[in-house]
Amino acid sequence: MAQTKVHSLFTDFDINIFKAGKHYRLYEKFGSHIINVDGEQGTYFAVWAPSAKSVAVVGDFNFWLEGEHKLNVRWDGSGIWEGFIPNVGKGSIYKYKIQSSNNNIITALHRVTTNTRHRSPNLSPCGNFWSFYGLIAVALLPQVSHSYSPPPHNCPSDRYSSIWL
């Protein structure tokens, strides 16, 4: 299986408005996206885990082995972990394995799809990025980074559901 390649869907502008809490189309950047990089088909993965020590993608495509596909943390202090994994396509089942700064491990199961708005039966009626990541609660880890507030949206029940620590 091919290793994770450094790749980003984020521009400097995306990062600036993300840090300002005004990026309203993060579903186009976070999660999994089937793309072509240097002539190779695969899937781009991105997750916001500002206090993470490491983030890996494990799934049916790598026999759920943790060390196979580690994501790279961005250099800009945004707390975004990302990478491109060749030959991972639609229907693949994966989860992020996030190790926090205090060594807690958090995982959440997902499926690679081509529809960025409807990936999980657990979506709220709003069906947006924030509700998709609502599968993990902030309370799972004690060290919450309060320096960032998620962008406002119209689903009150989804508030703070994108925070991975």
pLDDT for residue 129 is more than 80: no
**In the predicted structure, residue 43 carries a pLDDT above the cut 80:** yes
Cα–Cα distance between 4 and 56 in angstroms, integer?
A: 10
Averaged pLDDT score across all residues of the chain: 75
Question: Would you tell me how many other CB atoms lie within 10 Å of the CB of residue 122?
Answer: 10
Q: How far apart are CA 61 and CA 28, in angstroms?
A: 23
pLDDT of residue 107: 86
User: What are the structural domain ranges in the chain?
Assistant: 12-158
Q: Indicate whether 46 pLDDT > 50.
A: yes
Provide the whole-model pTM.
0.71
> What proportion of the chain, given as a percentage, has pLDDT over 70?
67
What pLDDT does 1 receive? 62
Please state the CATH superfamily assignment of the domain spanning residues 12-158 in this structure: Immunoglobulins (2.60.40.10)
Query: 130 with 117: CB under 8 angstroms?
Result: no
At 115, is the pLDDT very low, low, confident or very high (cuts 50, 70, 90)? low
Burial class (CB in 10 A: 0-12, 13-18, 19+), 151: middle
The DSSP symbol for 154 reads: S
Over the stretch 63-113, which tens digit does the pLDDT of each residue have? 998 788 999 999 999 999 999 999 999 999 999 999 998 999 988 777 787
Per-residue model confidence (pLDDT) at position 66? 79
